[in-house]
Each structure stands twice: as structure tokens, then as C-alpha cells.
């Protein structure tokens, strides 16, 4: 018998079923690198084998039990000591005893609920993993394997266009339209900007996609803004009545679905940020939130060989309509007369809403 059970040790391998046919998906690590793991969906079973190989043939491995866990957890980087588990399933593989030879165990977690999408952000990580533990008196042997989960959605029932008039009082009135308020991750944002009143000298205009990650609550709330993409849509001074087209392709960017109050720990939202710069290099901007969602692929099959019905998780795409919009994206340029309806102020980078000086 080895002293305190330290004499014998073992290597653990977790082999998931269907590794040759199941797709791999990329996810970022905390240091910004990308890893590829097997891709799963909500409701799919997770099955496979656990192989335990003894390091010293002929010597027994004493243990207090062997178990495998399926875990879904959220890690907040400012609170690394606590992992908030929202899913935890356990299967006992072996009762306490001795292992005298290499051993293999099969496991199956049937129709596992995976309510949230895997995510790695600036201040938070949501991950799914399998953990095998060989329990020993003083030092357990542990092996973990990560997997990626994608949450699918169906087409939103309502997807209104976004139409808004913004400006600076008596200086600038513009009207912008985007063709809808909810976009899948491979979608194209199509829109137009109309200049209704131009009394300041604008030299440049751009549109940016901003990701806003919010973690924690109360005094421990952290907000991180990241510019995902930036496009120049105008260079030079516009004139009254001019129309500028917008077309932004989302497929080439590292985007996730919109996530709202995930397990009361974090949210991820996306905004279109319209920025104008005048000849004195003052910048004015207006943000508009959009919703992103993941569209199911036709080739995806469930564990039973049938195509699963796409579902609409409440935290991803709401069934409610988006911002009030116009009936059609394409219309004649606006008339020369300035609008009489109230106009939302654009914001200058110093936080003010200036009037013409």
C-alpha cells in the first residue's frame, strides 16, 4: 500500500461521442487567443467515455469514488473565487475501491438543458465543461474538458425598421433609417441618412458597431465598450436634401447574440453609433441599440437524427416589436421644409448638446 495514497496516480481522458462528425466552434480565451471545441445545442444529449490509465502498472490506485459532472458556470473576473453554477449534473462512475488496471467508463447526460450561449468577454466568462474527479483522501485527480454551446433563435415575429430624427437645435437636422431592428449574425444592415437642415460645416461622418458588456450589480457594476467595426460613410460637406446610403455586412466580425441579464450576472448589447465631425474637429454622435441573434443552420440535426425546432429564449430575442419604425425603407427624399416634429439632440463628445455658436 502506498503511503497516504500518493504512490500511484493516473491519467484521465474524456472522449465524447461523435467527435468525427460534430462541428467545432471557436471561442476566445481570457488572454484573447482562440480555441476550438465541440459544438452543442440546447437539449442535446452529451455522451462519451472516460478512460483512466494507471501511471504505474501493477500498482493499485486507492480511491473514494469516481464521478463525472456536467457544469454550466459564470465566472466574473472581479470575483474569481466564486463560480456561479446555473447547471450542474453528476453521474457516479465507480464506488470507493481500488483500480488495479486501466479502466473505461461510459457516461450519458440525456437531453441536457443549456439555456445560455458560451461567452468570453472583458470581465466575464460563461462556459460549459465536463469534469471527471477521482476522489482520494488527500489529493483528487481531476480532468476537465470544455465545450461550446450556441443558442439558436427563430426569425422574430416583429422586426420593425428604425427611423429617427436627430440634430442640434437650429444647426443640424438629420433623419436616419435602418431597415430593421433585429439582425442575425450573418445579416446585412441597410439604411439611409437624410440631411434636412445643415448650418454647420460637417467634413466627415462614420458609423460604428459598439458592443457594450455590463457585469455585476450595484457598486460592483462594470461596463466595457468595444468598437467592433467602423465605417466611413461620408467625406466632405453635405447639403440640404442629400441622402447617404448605408450598408454594413456583419458576417466578417466576431459577434455574439444579444444577451440580456444572463442569470442576473451580465448583459451584452450592441449599438449602431452614428458620428459626425465638423471642421473644428468636434464630434457629435447618436447611438441606437440593435438586437443580434443566431440563426439555425439547415444542416444541423439533433441527437435523435431529426431537425430540432428553433426556439426563442427569453434572454435573446424578445417577442415584442422593436423601436417605432416606418412602413418602408425606400422612399423619396424628404421635402426641403424642416420637420415640425420634436427632434432628438445629438450629443457632443464632451457630453453637451451645443447650439450654433
**Domain-by-domain residue ranges, the chain?**
10-149, 162-293
Report DSSP letters for 265-285, one per residue.
Answer: TEEEEEEEEEEEEETT--EEE
Q: pTM of whole model > 0.95? A: no
Point out the least confidently predicted range of 106-110, 294-298, 329-333, 352-356: 329-333
pLDDT tens digits, one per residue of 44-70: 999 999 999 998 888 899 999 999 999
pLDDT exceeds 90 at position 268: yes
Q: Give the residue-averaged pLDDT of 258-272.
A: 95
Highest mean pLDDT among 19-23, 28-32, 109-113, 334-338: 109-113
pLDDT exceeds 60 at position 306: no
Q: Decide which of 139 and 82 is more confident.
A: 139
Q: Domain spanning 162-293: which CATH class is it, in words?
A: mainly beta
Local confidence band at 117 (pLDDT 50, 70, 90 cut-offs): very high
Count CA atoms within 13 Å of residue 337 on its CB side.
Answer: 3
Local confidence band at 346 (pLDDT 50, 70, 90 cut-offs): low
pLDDT exceeds 50 at position 326: no
Q: Give the residue-averaged pLDDT of 308-327.
A: 36
Give the other-Cβ count within 10 Å of 247's Cβ: 12
pLDDT tens digits, one per residue of 11-48: 999 999 988 999 999 998 888 789 999 999 999 999 99
pLDDT exceeds 90 at position 343: no
Non-local CB neighbours of 11 within 8 Å, separated by 6+ positions? 52, 53, 55
Q: Give the residue-averaged pLDDT of 74-87.
A: 88
| pLDDT score at 345 | 64
| pLDDT score at 7 | 63
pLDDT exceeds 60 at position 2: no
Sign (positive/negative) of CA torsion 18, 24, 28, 34?
Answer: positive
Mean pLDDT, the chain, rounded, equals: 82
> What would you report as the CA-atom Rg of the chain, rounded to the nearest whole angstrom?
27
pLDDT exceeds 60 at position 352: no
pLDDT tens digits, one per residue of 187-235: 999 999 998 988 888 888 899 999 999 998 888 889 999 999 998 888 8
Architecture of domain 10-149: Sandwich (2.60)
Highest mean pLDDT among 112-116, 170-174, 199-203, 352-356: 112-116
pLDDT tens digits, one per residue of 121-134: 999 999 999 999 99
Question: 10-149 and 162-293 share one CATH topology?
Answer: yes
**Closest of 141, 130, 131, 127 to residue 99, by C-alpha:** 141
| pLDDT score at 337 | 37
Amino acid at each position: 500500500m502506498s503511503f497516504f495514497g500518493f504512490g500511484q496516480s493516473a491519467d484521465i481522458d474524456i472522449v465524447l461521442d461523435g467527435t468525427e462528425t460534430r462541428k467545432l466552434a471557436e471561442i476566445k480565451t481570457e488572454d484573447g487567443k482562440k480555441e476550438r471545441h465541440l459544438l452543442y445545442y440546447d437539449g442535446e444529449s452529451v455522451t462519451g467515455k472516460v478512460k483512466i490509465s494507471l501511471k504505474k502498472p501493477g500498482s493499485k490506485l486507492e480511491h473514494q469514488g469516481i464521478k463525472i459532472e456536467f457544469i454550466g458556470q459564470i465566472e466574473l473576473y472581479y470575483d474569481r473565487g466564486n463560480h456561479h453554477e446555473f447547471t450542474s449534473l453528476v453521474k457516479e462512475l465507480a464506488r470507493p475501491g481500488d483500480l488495479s488496471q486501466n479502466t473505461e467508463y461510459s457516461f450519458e447526460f440525456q437531453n441536457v438543458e443549456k439555456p445560455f450561449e458560451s461567452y468570453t468577454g472583458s470581465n466575464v466568462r460563461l462556459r460549459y465543461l465536463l469534469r471527471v474527479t477521482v476522489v482520494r483522501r488527500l489529493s483528487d485527480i481531476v480532468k476537465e474538458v470544455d465545450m461550446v454551446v450556441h443558442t439558436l433563435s427563430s426569425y422574430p415575429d416583429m422586426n420593425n425598421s428604425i427611423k429617427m430624427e436627430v440634430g442640434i437645435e437650429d444647426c443640424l437636422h438629420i433623419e436616419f433609417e435602418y431597415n430593421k431592428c433585429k439582425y442575425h449574425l450573418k445579416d446585412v444592415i441597410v439604411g439611409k441618412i437624410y440631411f434636412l437642415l445643415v448650418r454647420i460645416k460637417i467634413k466627415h461622418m462614420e458609423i460604428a458597431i459598439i458592443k457594450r458588456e455590463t457585469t455585476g450589480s450595484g457598486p460592483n457594476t462594470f461596463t466595457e465598450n468595444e468598437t467592433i467595426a467602423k465605417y466611413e460613410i461620408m467625406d466632405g460637406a453635405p447639403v440640404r436634401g442629400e441622402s447617404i446610403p448605408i450598408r454594413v455586412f456583419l458576417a466578417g466580425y466576431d459577434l455574439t447574440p444579444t444577451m440580456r441579464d444572463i442569470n442576473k450576472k451580465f448583459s451584452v448589447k450592441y449599438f449602431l453609433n452614428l458620428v459626425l465631425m465638423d471642421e473644428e474637429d468636434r464630434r457629435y454622435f447618436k447611438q441606437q441599440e440593435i438586437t443580434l441573434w443566431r440563426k439555425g443552420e439547415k444542416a444541423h440535426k439533433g441527437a435523435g437524427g431529426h431537425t430540432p425546432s428553433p426556439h426563442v429564449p427569453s434572454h435573446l430575442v424578445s417577442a415584442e416589436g422593436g423601436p417605432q419604425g416606418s412602413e418602408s425603407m425606400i422612399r423619396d427624399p424628404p421635402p426641403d421644409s424642416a420637420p415640425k416634429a420634436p427632434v432628438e439632440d445629438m450629443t457632443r463628445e464632451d457630453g453637451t448638446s451645443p447650439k450654433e455658436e
